[in-house]
């Protein structure tokens, strides 16, 4: 009976938070965990054949055909100033929409969808790498790990304004 009482108390504490949560798709780039607001995610793809685009910025990996639509593929590692992975590394893509255009964000791996309490949200730390800060909405601290929430429009717009 005491165990049930403790369990009910813990459940009540969870409910007493704002109760408001947001869902994020977790992705991994260079060993770091990032989150993308789930409402921005259109699709998750395995490794895709990407066609290079001549004279494109280094962040643009190329273009791919997604069910008859041409989608610009963005190498998020390059956007964040990270080195390229090994040639043999299998990478994944998360398709997002920005200004009515689809973009394929090439990443290292996809994790889970997490529902996180708004109460746990924090501003981006001043100590975070400036390239990462510029495309971060904020962070969540999860069991000793930092989940950096990507500002997808900023990521894409900063990449477009490089040229």
Measured at the CA of 60, the angle between CA 123 and CA 140, to 5 degrees, comes to 20
Rounded Cα distance between 12 and 22, Å, is: 20
pLDDT tens for 142-151 read 988 999 999 9
Q: Phi and psi dihedrals of 48, rounded to 5?
A: -120, 155
Can you say how many angstroms the Cα of residue 75 is from the centroid of all Cα atoms in its chain?
12
pTM for this one? 0.83
CATH class of 2-160: mainly beta
Phi-psi region of 12 (alpha: psi -120 to 50; beta: other; left: phi over 0): alpha
pLDDT tens for 74-117 read 999 999 988 877 766 789 999 999 988 999 999 999 999 999 99
In this structure, how many other beta carbons lie within 10 angstroms of the beta carbon of residue 63? 16
Q: Which pLDDT band, with edges at 50, 70 and 90, does 163 fall under?
A: very low
């Amino acid at each position: 009976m005491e165990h049930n009482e403790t369990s009910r108390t813990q459940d009540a504490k969870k409910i007493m938070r704002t109760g408001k949560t947001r869902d994020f798709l977790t992705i991994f780039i260079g060993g770091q965990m990032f989150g993308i607001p789930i409402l921005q995610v259109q699709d998750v793809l395995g490794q895709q054949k990407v066609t290079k685009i001549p004279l494109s910025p280094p962040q643009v990996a190329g273009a791919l055909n997604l069910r008859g639509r041409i989608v610009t593929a963005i190498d998020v590692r390059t956007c964040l100033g990270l080195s390229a992975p090994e040639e043999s590394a299998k990478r994944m893509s998360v398709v997002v929409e920005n200004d009515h255009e689809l973009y394929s964000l090439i990443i290292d791996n996809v994790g889970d969808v997490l529902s996180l309490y708004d109460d746990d949200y924090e501003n981006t730390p001043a100590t975070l790498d400036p390239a990462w800060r510029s495309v971060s909405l904020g962070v969540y601290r999860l069991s000793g790990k930092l989940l950096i929430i990507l500002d997808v429009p900023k990521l894409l717009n900063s990449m477009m304004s490089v040229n």
